[in-house]
Amino acid sequence: MKFLYSKILYPLLFLFFRLFAKLPFFLVYLFADFIFVILYYIAGYRKKVVFENLRNSFPEKSEKEIKTIAKKYYLHLADTMVETIKIADMTLTDFEKRVKVNNVALLNQLYDEGKSAVMFCSHYGNWEWVLFIPTMLKHSILPIYKPLSNPYTDQYFTKLRSKFGGLPTPMNETLRALVNYKKQNKLTVIWLAADQVPALEGAYWTEFLHQDTPFFMGGEKIAKKMQQVAVFMSIRKTGRGYYQMDLALMERHPETLPESVLTQQYIAKLEALIQEAPAFWLWSHKRWKHKRAAMPKK
């Protein structure tokens, strides 16, 4: 069975991805409409998780409003899936036409000042389309990722994320990589989607979207330990296949802040972004599967 997957099924799947990526955008989005029907109406992919997350996050909204957000989310999820596959055939010009990035000057000014940065982002909008940004910046860009369990899929996505000069870095190797770059006098920006479920030990707990929620503290710890500037990136969907990315300074000297202040700043910005247009966050993720009482005792 392992031979069947590795030698036949995965090569066929990735061949399909390569061929699909060559389709024009209007056909790509027709296919996304088909995927939406499968996900929402036929397979019901994680509908229980999505609706529970939405109801708990927006207790003030009616069931009709929740359903409207859920359907928009599933259509956006389908768009994100096909847009990610499409990356393989997209050029820099394609990205420049479809993605507007505001305040790039912030990071390039930091470079000129000899400063590295931690860019706090999230699974909102299409986070994979951030990968072309290295062409606009002077720093070495390190997208931080959690390796996938399947080595073929992991290799595929690592290749995509490095297409425009990014240096994908496994999460557990982040600090070591930054130390090595610092020794080489290379300035870096790590791109960190810090909104998924963290390990419970060492997590920061707070109220987020009306729920008791743990957050990953790694971004704050790195920013403080390495004395790197903290920057927030928001991604807004401005149309089907079109996005706006905004860079904003969070803290120039995170090492001077009390513990958890930087993380709370990130959480507040993320919550405001989600409240603004709820459908574009990753609602099918089991974000609230842990409870504070389940934290291991110290």
Decide: pTM greater than 0.75.
yes
Structure tokens at 50: 């999505």
What does the pLDDT average to over 2-12? 67
How confident is residue 168, by pLDDT bands cut at 50, 70 and 90? very high
**% of the chain at pLDDT higher than 90:** 85
Are residues 284 and 75 in contact, defined by beta-carbon separation less than 8 angstroms? Answer: no
Residue 110 confidence (pLDDT)? 98
How confident is residue 10, by pLDDT bands cut at 50, 70 and 90? confident
pLDDT > 60? residue 276: yes
Average pLDDT of the residues of the chain: 93
d(CA 259, CA 7): 49
Angle of the 63-86 helix axis to the 47-57 helix axis, nearest 10: 120
Spatial CB neighbours of 277, under 8 Å, sequence gap ≥ 6 = 236, 237
Q: Is the dihedral of CA 276, 279, 283, 288 positive or negative?
A: positive
Residue 148 confidence (pLDDT)? 83
What does the pLDDT average to over 174-199? 94
How confident is residue 1, by pLDDT bands cut at 50, 70 and 90? low
What does the pLDDT average to over 184-193? 96
Q: Tens digits of per-residue pLDDT, 79-136?
A: 999 999 999 999 999 999 999 999 999 999 999 999 999 999 999 999 999 999 999 9
Across 121-154, b (16+ Cβ under 10 Å) vs e yields: bbbbbbbbbbbbbbeebebbbbbbbebeeeeeeb
Q: Tens digits of per-residue pLDDT, 33-75?
A: 999 999 999 999 999 999 999 999 999 999 999 999 999 999 9
Residue 3 confidence (pLDDT)? 53
Q: Tens digits of per-residue pLDDT, 192-233?
A: 999 989 988 889 999 999 999 999 999 999 999 999 999 999
What does the pLDDT average to over 147-164? 87
Residue 149 confidence (pLDDT)? 82
* Strands 229-239 vs 242-251: parallel, antiparallel or unpaired: antiparallel
Residue 97 confidence (pLDDT)? 97
Residue 298 confidence (pLDDT)? 45
pLDDT > 80? residue 293: no
Three-state SS across the chain? CHHHHHHHHHHHHHHHHHHHHCCCHHHHHHHHHHHHHHHHHHCCCCHHHHHHHHHHHCCCCCHHHHHHHHHHHHHHHHHHHHHHHHHHHCCHHHHHHHEEEECHHHHHHHHHCCCCEEEEECCECCHHHHHHHHHHCCCEEEEEECCCCCHHHHHHHHHHHCCCCCCCEEHHHHHHHHHHHHHCCCCEEEEEECCCCCCCCCCEEEEECCEEEEECCHHHHHHHHCCCEEEEEEEEEEECCEEEEEEEEEECCHHHCCCCHHHHHHHHHHHHHHHHCHHHECCCCCCCCCCHHHCCCC
Residue 261 confidence (pLDDT)? 97
Per domain, the residue ranges of the chain are 1-89, 97-279
